[in-house]
Structure 1
């Protein structure tokens, strides 16, 4: 193309277009000099020609001049060799409007430009690829507007048309899992470089999708993907179904570059959103990747171990066995001989990572026979010992950290099975059932032994950690793994664990108080498919303590660990956690309130401290803060059936504190009165007073939760008796709130209580009330003397205390 030819007429791409050209300023000569000096490797004559071309671009009077200058520049100096200053000058001269118009003109099949469509596409994509080497240009709205078109070219190749583009965009909004493809009408089987057909008056063209064109398209998409919001931008523009369709149809470079781009989109923060939006497409893609993995040769399989995890869904997804199990079974069949072979540490790492991901998805059942399961656990434990039992100060490489994190996940999956198996065996179960089918008692003991050795190394490593490393994601992974072990196994490594408690508490406190960076940890949680809490969702600083809470429940019940926990103000940490968690729960509001088991676990740990160390209640100011929290929270929970177990925990916790407090000298505080008033209503609601003449039943509201809340209710009744003795004013409240009349009426009308434990707890509370309050004693005596033959008549201890026997 030369300056004497007619001006090329390109279609306007719409609202995204803009006039090319910029105003020249006084600094133009300076910028040109910078560009001349910046381009290395060009001769003086080449630099002169380049400057003339750039001058032509800046002063072009029509598209013909612009295209001619661009073609000369690309032949003189490939885009990859142009410096950023020169690229910026090109962008300022032509903008993104021209390459966008080139692409639109090509796909519309217009012949007004005087150029064949394949040249328009080649030049447009090459220019965009060159311009996107500057990240600022890659984020430009005009470039982002071309993404659906580029994806369409990659997905449909030579069978692109405006109608297909419309179908593609419609299906992205209505049927995300449907690919954008032709309906088969008026398609040609010829393979020429260009062919035009007509369908209902619309022009179609076929252009060969050669490697250069595909490579430019992929380069643009990869550049956009590298932007901070790039994956989200590509996802919202239909990248997933288009790239999957390109792979399915084996389009040019789809396997070499399209699969890699899909892996990048599916392994980051957009993974869960992509799987929710395109489940069918991604399950089909996973099936294809799994098949390739299973059919690959040895060396290729080893390489693919590092790639396959990118295409696995999150374990928290709503997947059925039918969706995933066949694919997982296939991959385990290929992994077994690999894990049984001799591998270097570099080779073994990706294999263990893939194994951990598959375990997360489908558990132990598809893994293989018990002997292989034990081998997998053993290899993971050996890697942990070799990686962590290094001298203090040894830095672990990122690759080793990733491998060890995967090993932790294998160990966590194994410990629950081995520990539960061991526990069942102690109870005399000859053939205990576990998810590792056929695991013998001897194999279970072997697994426990190697796990203990591995966690000894974990403890050793954590002993070397100082506060400067609290923000390290690998330290969190190591901490989390040890917490999982302590939640299951409480008898091993007692002294080592007790000695490590100050670190564990300090680390959890620093995360809760936000003293260490959360960004890296949050990214790690997302990449490693770790949900931050029992409710899932984003990671927060409270999650470190959430993982530690089950262990604290066990350890706070034992003398030696409890003394250490008290020395590092663990009760105050638990109260702070409860306060923050309650604030988060309230922020969700109304119907959104959902159960948070970690709050219940924190209550259990605090209850251990109150029961075993009662003197702490009066000395530690955190218990005063806890009372204030209880008086605010309990009334809110009164009519929240989904949070009944939490309400029972808070109620019992407050009553256990109340029995240790002296009677108030001044008028009772409003908050204290509010708590006891609500506590009595909660206790009153557990048993159904309308049960009739038969045995009393648990009320419908409590029935679903009785296994968890029943023991708390009984403990609360016993604590209520202690509260009445310590604070006699509560007796008046018993009558005012109707607890006493309700209880007596129920006992008089029913024949028996649900179980002996419930009867004993209720009798203990009534005896304390009768002993402390004359009016209450009179009410109870009157009913007993009336000859009640119901459950009240079976309360021998109560009748004896009243002198009616």
Structure 2
């Protein structure tokens, strides 16, 4: 049709006085629409002449002229809607969105049909859904209006457009999709997993990419064990890892392995080990070998910049490597895994050597380049996996002594960044780049050895720990006030506890440092603030760590602080309620509330009591406030009766060790109280 002919029909369309006249014009115009001969301006002119109201009447009309197809009105409406949906503004129009259920109904009716008209209508409807899915602001409407079942049905029978819509929703509206359409997503994952297992061509790798998007921590626990999707993926990956594949395919395979481990844990990797008769029982070694090979190939590149270009692959490798290290720690004694432990350990050790070499290169880089390198995810992932290894493999701590200044400096830089972000936002900042958090377990080990502890001090690690503690404890109190998600609070609490452990090593091993460095006065102020304003029974382990840390700092030197009396009062009360004496003082047991925490706080309580006894001799105010409580006199009576009765195993508890520890701690305190009078 010529341009003049089109203009003629558009003019008639604008002047049409009845639906029949509009319909007649549209029958001609839709031929152009179907042939994709309409540009954006013409599409708008057609819409302005027709509008949604006429299309609504077409869809609602069930009676058709004699001799016409029963779908003639709906078919015409869908053709026009598919045309209009190409315009983003029209695709996002509320009138278009209200037709989503209609589109789903049409698509569903096309399943199994061989009629060309029905299939064409289904294609137009799917085109409309695709157009809507491409617009972020209205994409959620596809989930709200229950399209998942129809889309999955289409995707399972091979419709790429439907599959693309699901993947688009999984990328941008993941939580909403997985919470509202869990069963449908599970069905799709099972289908793809079976295809991933059975296909031996390029389709396997295309499916792998789709599974990477869909396998996510948001997966509902109700279908994590549903069907055989885990085993199917395991078998499919085994085929890939046994083959010669391109670097991109390898990256995808490791990415999928990473996602499955993130969802179900390393038990999935152990599947072959648990079945010794399986021909795939070496999968755990096969996967680790591929991880180490890819790590080496990436980290051995000529320049740091080239290494950083492989961020996705390196991050996936290091994530899996971390979980292999945890596996050796938690499952190393397992009879099924014990025969592989030495091989796994040697292989991981090789990878860690490459990580150390890479970080050494980064540390020695030019200052101008290093600033950029230190912000990169590959460097942070390298530090993280190295710290996980250092936290468990104490035999290799000396191998990284030269890296300590670099690691401490990176921790300081990341902390400054996190503190700035937290000040600029009222919400919790993303802690994924919290390098100090990665370092803490390793620092606990490093600070227990003389040589490495001195290196830490020379690098200013104790200052980093002080800054980190002050920031984290304030963050913890802020999270409590906002009733933040419990997982975030638990993570913050765990970080503070580990930080306390590292700081306690410095307090015990380097008392002269505590007495001479004024930064510890800033730390004690933060400790005082927390201990005096929180209740021990709510966060027992954290609270007792802070009490112990505060007392250890105080015993290292004379500290003047306006909160000193309040701190000693609160501390002596909290330490005293851990044990409970009988009315006649013949028995002394750990209070019921604290029994479930005893494994974690047992040594802390003894160390805190020892430090408190020492503080009594240094701070006169300590003796005064302690005597205000009843428990010191009860402890004295109990010790007297214990001495008279000599050894009576049933007078304290079933554990004679527990009795001895309590007796020693209480005796030290009573002696301190009497000699300081």
TM range (shorter): 0.7 to 0.9
Q: Shift of residue 385 of structure 1?
A: 1.7
Query: Where do 1:69-80 residues align within 5 Å?
Result: 69-76=25-32, 78=34
- Find the counterpart in structure 1 of residue 324 from structure 2: 414
1:335 equivalent to 2:237? Answer yes
Q: Determine which of 279, 286, 299 is the counterpart of 2:189.
A: 286
Partner in structure 1 of residue 647 of structure 2: none
SS of the aligned residue for 1:760 comes to: helix
The equivalent residue for 2:2 is 46
| Partner-residue secondary structure (3-state), 1:688 | strand
Partner of 2:648: none
Q: Distance in 1 between matches of 2:121 and 2:102?
A: 13
CA distance in 1, matches of 2:41, 2:620: 85
Hey, what does 1:512 align to over in structure 2? 418
Go from structure 1 to structure 2 and tell me whether the alpha carbon gap of 1:77 and 1:674 turns closer, same or farther (over 3 Å shift). same
Match of 1:209 among 118, 123, 138: 118
2:668 to 755, 760, 764: 764
Equivalent in the alignment of 2:210 = 307
Is 1:580 matched up with 2:475?
yes
Match of 1:488 in 2: 392
CA deviation vs aligned residue, 1:531-561 (integer Å, no higher than 9, x gap):
x9xxxx9944674443333233333443223
Pair 1:112–1:568, CA change in 2 (3 A):
farther
How far apart, CA to CA, are the structure 2 residues paired with 1:677 and 1:594? 27
Structure-to-structure mapping, 1:561-572, within 5 angstroms? 561-566=456-461, 569-572=464-467
User: Which has the greater radius of gyration?
Assistant: 1
Q: Do the aligned partners of 1:332 and 1:367 also contact (CA within 8 Å) in 2? A: no
Q: Contact 1:99–1:124 (CA<8 Å) still a contact in 2?
A: yes
- 1:80-114: CA deviation from partner (whole Å, max 9, x where unpaired): 554444444444444444444444x16xx355999
Q: 2:258 maps to what in 1?
A: 356
For the Cα contact (< 8 Å) 1:100–1:143, is it kept in 2? no
How many Å separate the matches in 2 of 1:607 and 1:480? 23
Alignment of 1:145-544 (within 5 A): 145-157=98-110, 209-210=118-119, 212-247=120-155, 250=157, 255-266=159-170, 268-314=171-217, 317-318=220-221, 322-323=225-226, 326-360=228-262, 361-363=264-266, 364-368=269-273, 371-392=282-303, 394-395=305-306, 400-418=310-328, 432-433=333-334, 437-456=337-356, 458-460=358-360, 462-463=362-363, 466-468=370-372, 472-492=376-396, 493-514=399-420, 539-540=430-431, 543-544=434-435
Counterpart secondary structure, 1:305: helix
| CA deviation after TM superposition for structure 1 residue 247, in Å | 5.0
Displacement of 1:686: 1.0
Indicate conservation of the 8 Å contact 2:292/2:350, yes or no: yes
Contact 2:414 2:436 (C-alpha < 8 Å) held by counterparts: yes
Q: CA deviation at 1:320?
A: 7.3
The structure-2 alpha-carbon separation of the partners of 1:644 and 1:96, relative to structure 1 and needing over 3 Å to count, comes to farther
Q: Which residue matches 1:547?
A: 438
Secondary structure of 1:307's partner? helix
1: CA distance between counterparts of 2:379 and 2:497?
26
* Aligned match for 1:598, one of 484, 495, 513: 495
Mapped contact 1:574–1:606 kept (Cα < 8 A): no
Deviations 1:742-763 (A, max 9, x none): 4335545663472433333332
- Report the counterpart of residue 277 of structure 2 in structure 1: none
Q: What is the match of residue 137 of structure 1?
A: 90
> Using the alignment, how far apart are the partners of 1:379 and 1:590 within structure 2?
37
Residue 19 of structure 1 corresponds to: none
The one-character-per-residue Cα deviations of 1:235-262 (angstroms, maximum 9, x if unpaired) are: 22212233234456x4xxx533223322
Rounded to whole Å, the distance in 2 between the matches of 1:550 and 1:225 is 45
C-alpha deviation, 1:328, in angstroms: 1.3
Compare the two structures and name the one with the higher helix fraction.
Answer: 2
Shift of 1:377: 0.8
TM-fit CA distance, 1:470: 5.9
Task: Work out whether residues 158 and 208 of structure 1, in 8 Å CA contact, stay in contact via their aligned partners in 2.
Answer: no
C-alpha distance after superposition, 1:279-303 (max 9, x if no partner): 3333333222222222212333233
What SS does the aligned partner of 1:297 have? coil
Alignment of 1:694-713 (within 5 A): 696-713=588-605
Residues in 2 aligned to 1:314 and 1:759: alpha-carbon distance in whole angstroms: 49
- State yes or no: 1:559 paired with 2:454: yes
Secondary structure of 1:323 counterpart: coil
The match for 2:276 is none
Of the candidates 519, 534, 538, which is equivalent to residue 637 of structure 1? 534
Q: CA deviation at 1:684?
A: 0.9
Give yes or no for contact 1:308–1:354 (8 Å, CA) kept in 2: yes
CA gap of 1:444–1:46, structure 2 versus 1, over 3 A, is same
Q: Is the 2:130–2:165 Cα contact (8 Å) retained in structure 1?
A: yes
Name structure 1 gaps, 5 residues minimum.
1-44, 160-190, 194-206, 425-431, 520-531, 774-805
Distance 2:488 2:384 in 1: 27
Partner residue of 1:726? 618
Q: Root-mean-square deviation (CA), in Å? A: 3.8
| Inter-CA distance 150–675: structure 2 relative to 1 (3 Å threshold) | farther
1:652/1:715 contact within 8 Å kept: yes
The yes-or-no answer on 1:655 pairing with 2:551 is: yes
Distance 1:653 1:510 in 2: 24
Aligned-pair distance for 1:483? 3.6
Alpha-carbon shift at residue 366 of structure 1 (Å): 1.5
TM-score, structure 1 normalization:
0.71
Contact 2:299 2:355 in 1 (8 A): no
TM-aligned CA distance change 1:100 to 1:475, over 3 Å: farther
CA distance in 2, matches of 1:593, 1:335: 33
Per the alignment, residue 684 of structure 1 pairs with: 576
Q: CA 1:737/1:458 → structure 2, altered by over 3 Å: closer, same or farther?
A: farther
